[in-house]
Structure 1
Amino acid sequence: MIDIHFRSPFAFWTLGVISVILSILSDAGNLINLFVLTRRHMRSTMTTLLVTLAWADLVPPTVASLNSILFYYFLPRMNNSSTFLTTHMIARAIFNGLANVFTTFSNWLIVLITTFRLIVVKQPLVAKTYCNRRTARYAIVIILFLSIFVNIPLFLFTSIRVYCTNNGLIKYYSLGGSPLLRTKFFSRFFYPIMVTISLLFPWLICFLIWLFLIRALRSAQSQLTKKNVNTTFRNDRKQDTYFRITLMIVCVLTVYMICRSAHLLEVIHLLIAPLFSIQQQIYFNKIRIKLYCISNIMLTINHGANFYIYSINPKFRLTLKLYLTYYFRRCRIKRRRAFTLFHLRRKKTNDSLDGLSAQNDFNRSIMLTPSNPNEGNQRFSINHNLLTTNGGVYKQNCTINSIRTPQKYLRQFLDANSNNENSEKSYVWREIEQRLKYHRRNHFQ
């Protein structure tokens, strides 16, 4: 009966089309988050939590999209294959358990992130002592074990069930749950407790923290509007960074509470369903299927919306822009060199002294020419200065002319007098400072 409801046109377009597309976009956004937030100059306590959240948000959309693809696209064509039917039933049972574990993990990570931010806002001195990476890692491990422990009954498979289709011609197998899951104790007590811990408590805690952060955001906004010309740039930048990070967390909380509301209504319906009669349960079952489809889309949006929320931070945007520019530039140079080498190898008869024709000599000179006309002069001046400052001794194996990694690419923008690569004199922070400084000057003129 449930499979018939899921084969309706509404369920197909929501779960089989829209949800799959949103899952792909969500996974792409989370992968970009992992790429940007794991850079060296982005490391902090908050980014440690955000990286863990990105890993947790990768699993539920991927699992849901794989389940929908198997059900809507492969199952109708391979309905006569016993191997595929068995694989599909086992995968669906395991996928549901994994989705619940990482959804619970993601919910409590949101609580942890917002709690850390609330402590930073309300008690800065306490935050310096307790809101560090070590505390964050311990809290992440505790939340992970709590998520697994709460959802352990979903993995209690104690038997193998046999199913038949096509009038008993095709047999396939599935994992059977423990008899404990079908008892009245589980349905009346354990399942409501599990749902309350995994969804209801995180939602209520996030709502309360959201109220406190909204008040802090308003006070920070009023302080930014009362600034005068005598305000130092360092304090100005600190207040602006404080405002942006708090705004980002408030946006994460807002999207979380809106997207989880549909799932919360679905869970409440499941909890109160035994109180209705059988006819009322059949009537509300159709509504629950539609509510399930809508909540699945909202959950996918929640797991993938963090990329757009993180873009509020200019440091995130500039880091992404810097690395994209670097990699596209490297790909363009490698593509030009490969194209030139391809033409060099195609030439079989060469008339020049070194085995190359005049045209290939010209192509080779183009290949070795820097893309920027001023780049050759700059490199010559850099090498000349190094020879002068080091007393004429310079190692030829130095990688000053070969920037292979973004870390080496970033080193040329670091402050030469700074001993810390993670200092605020990095290229990203320097660009942020210049933009904020010019913005403030134009504002007070």
Structure 2
Amino acid sequence: MENVTDYIFGDFNDTMDASSGEAGFSSLPDSAIARFGVSYQSIHGYFSVTVCVFGIVSNVLNIIVLTRKHMKSPTNFILTALAIADMLTMSTYPIMAIYLYIINSPDCETHGHSRGWMYFILFHNLFIVTCHNMAMWLTVTLAVFRYIFVCQHAIAARMCSLARAKLTVAVVVVATIVSCVPNYFVYSVRDIGPELDRNASCYWIVASQLAEANPTYEQFVRWLFGVVIKILPCVLMAFLSTLLIIAMQQAKKRRARLLNKVSRIVDHDHQSSEHNRTTMMLVGVVVFFIVTEIPQGILAWISAVDENFWHDVYIHLGDLMDILVLVNSAVNFVLYCIMSQQFRNTFKSLFVCKSLPCMMDRDTTKSNGTEYSAVVTETTNV
């Protein structure tokens, strides 16, 4: 039994087939994938609400920390925009999950859904598809900016300025909304109670008149979301991450050669190490995005080629694809805390040290026999 929002992304029309017991699942009614889908559905509501609550709170914390005055930088501006997009992606999901999975059930056989709730779920789906695609392309932007900074250092100051970051984020937001427009016209809300021989009404989300009159239109949307909006950004992120890792390894070897010749290079090596930690943190964000997104992109691409695969496999895995997206949207706070000392220090000064006595991380430095403490500072933001 599949949810009506499986086009983070599935297909509402096939979802109706699944829940009504019609032809959508007839070819593999007892498949292991179908049984897994039914089994996981029983816990999906509780699991997804938990992840969303944590993700919304953690992204609010990300925004607060990243927007502090001393944290302002092009990279952190993009990370802030990413946190906003991730937070919006999860904002309406708990309401949908509580209604459709905990209070009711995502089908029309056991529960009659009202027109109002179905319009909300339709809005929810289109809204989070748009917000999540923004997050995907903002992550690509993050990888591009870091690649320019690390591998094209001569032009980094000009190409990766704060003004350029703001302009790029604005372009990503507008372009994402435009690219999602085709999806807005694929679905509509209709009472399918009579089709199920129900005495009562049951509103559901089905293919729109435009999609029914033009079968290739819905196929085009699947290709658009499966290949252009899912696989393409993952390929770009994987390529840029590989280049970044190679560049970091080469820089490490160069520093090792220099350290054997000049002892004073130690201070510069510390600075380079901080840059590398920043780069590795951002690579971690990108890699986690790829790991959670590429399976869905591949499945959607195969589904665009093979209609049977869509019915027999993809829509049974819609809830699992959803939870991967939600976990991806919630995990960045953990990555920042693990991999960025400046983020940890700022977070502690804002939320921990105000209520509990604590000391910022300090280094003890000796100069002419005198010891003094100096607050550790980062050479790069986050």
Distance 2:83 2:188 in 1: 35
Q: Which residue of 1 aligns with 2:285?
A: 252
The aligned counterpart of 1:100 is 129
How far 1:294 moved relative to its partner?
2.4
User: 2:201 matched to which residue of 1?
Assistant: 171
Quote the Cα distance in structure 1 between the aligned partners of 2:299 and 2:353. Answer: 46
Match of 1:181 in 2: 211
Counterpart of 2:376 (choices 405, 411, 432) is 432
Which of structures 1 and 2 has the larger relative contact order (alpha carbons within 8 angstroms, sep 6+)?
A: 2
1:418 counterpart residue number: none
Deviation at 1:247, TM superposition (A): 0.7
For the residue of structure 2 that corresponds to 1:8, the secondary structure is: helix
- List aligned pairs for 1:8-407, cutoff 5 A: 8-13=38-43, 15-75=44-104, 85-156=114-185, 161-164=190-193, 169-171=199-201, 173=203, 178-182=208-212, 183-223=214-254, 225=256, 227=259, 230-232=263-265, 234-274=267-307, 281=308, 285-311=311-337, 312-328=339-355
Return 215-224 or 304-313, whichever deviates more: 215-224
Determine the C-alpha separation between the residues in 2 that align with 1:196 and 1:111. Answer: 15
Alpha-carbon separation, structure 2, partners of 1:217 and 1:143: 28
Counterparts of 2:205 and 2:314, CA distance in 1:
25
Structure 2-normalised TM-score? Answer: 0.76
Classify 1:218/1:321 alpha carbon distance in 2 versus 1 (closer, same or farther; 3 Å): same
TM superposition shift of 1:159? 6.7
User: What is the CA–CA distance in structure 2 between the aligned matches of 1:242 and 1:160, rounded to whole Å?
Assistant: 51
Q: Within 2, Cα distance between the matches of 1:59 and 1:39?
A: 21
Structure 2 unaligned segments of length 5 or more: list them: 1-16, 22-33, 361-372
Superimposed CA distance per residue, residues 168-191 of structure 1 (whole angstroms, 9 cap, x where no aligned partner): 554355677643323133134354
Number of positions where the alignment pairs a residue of Structure 1 with one of Structure 2 = 329
Distance in 1 (CA, whole Å) between partners of 2:254 and 2:73 is 26
Q: Distance in 2 between matches of 1:152 and 1:109?
A: 19
The answer to whether the 8 Å contact 1:118/1:209 transfers is: yes
Alpha-carbon shift at residue 273 of structure 1 (Å)? 2.1
Using a 3 Å threshold, how does the CA distance of structure 1 residues 328 and 224 change in structure 2: closer, same or farther?
A: farther
Gaps of 5+ in 1: 275-280, 330-370, 372-409, 411-428, 435-445
Q: Note if contact 2:300-2:314 (Cα within 8 Å) is conserved in structure 1.
A: no
The separation in 1 between residues aligned to 2:111 and 2:231, in whole angstroms, is 41
Give the equivalent residue in structure 2 for 1:386.
none
In structure 1, what residue type is equivalent to 2:349? Answer: L
Q: Which amino acid in 2 is paired with 1:287?
A: V
Match of 2:12 in 1: none
What TM-score do you get using the length of structure 1 for normalisation? 0.66
CA shift at 1:55, angstroms? 0.4
Q: Which residue identity is paired with 1:431? A: V
CA shift, 1:253, in A, is 1.7
Cα distance in structure 2, aligned partners of 1:284 and 1:186: 16
When structure 1 is superposed on structure 2, of 22-31 and 226-235 the one drifting more is: 226-235
Q: Which has the larger radius of gyration?
A: 1
Q: 1:172 to 1:212 in 2, by over 3 A?
A: same
**CA distance in structure 2 between the aligned counterparts of 1:118 and 1:36, rounded to whole angstroms:** 24
Asked if structure 2 preserves the Cα contact closer than 8 Å seen for 1:150 and 1:194, the reply is no
Distance 1:56 1:215, change over 3 A: same
